[in-house]
Copies of this chain bind each other. A is one copy, B any other.
Amino acid sequence: MADISRPSASPGASPLFLREDEIRRGVELLYFGYTRLTNAIDQELAKQGLGRAHHRALYFIARQPDLTVGELLRLLAITKQSLGRVLKELHDRDLVVTKTGPLDRRQKLLRLTDSGAALEAELFAQLRERLSAAYVTAGQESVTGFWHVLEGLVPESDRQMVFDLRKDKA
């Protein structure tokens, strides 16, 4: 295969070679990479009778315990009715518990139960397997490039929210 990282042999049109083909390449790889990664856990989810919507909620609750419902809504960017359905199912299956917010009693803080955490860990293991294989093949330098481009795709208005996932809650 030709070296896909080499830009056009005739530069000059643009300092960063933003030719149509390079954009389409990104669109396609993002599409296939994302969909194939999410496919990796569908079978596991189906065993539990859960769907991808449940996994997204489990994932973010695992990532940031004591997340509020409102914060989760902002992350998922769906309506509260849609999320309500998902959270109710997770609660009914004893995968998620809520507690009243200590500072603001209107809030509900979300946490995984032990079995919720176990399920999330099992699903995460699939993601880790795929993603770490891709990381290893591409190399650490590529991984940081991968991150940088994706960060640029997140609108300014959402960026802080995404970065904050890596912090413990105040």
Contact = CB atoms under 8 A, between A and B. Distances in A.
Interface of A: 1, 4-5, 7, 16-18, 20-37, 39, 56, 59, 63, 77, 124, 127-128, 130-155, 158, 162-163, 165-166
Given A131-B153, A137-B152, A29 B145 contact: no
Which secondary structure characterizes the binding site on chain A?
helix
B135 A22 contact: yes
Contact of A137 (B20, B138, B148, B166): B148
A12 to B, nearest CB: 14
B136 A142 contact: no
Given A34-B30, A153-B37, A162-B32, A25 B147 contact: yes
Q: Which 6 A-B pairs have the closest CB atoms?
A: A145-B145, A134-B152, A142-B145, A5-B144, A29-B150, A33-B150
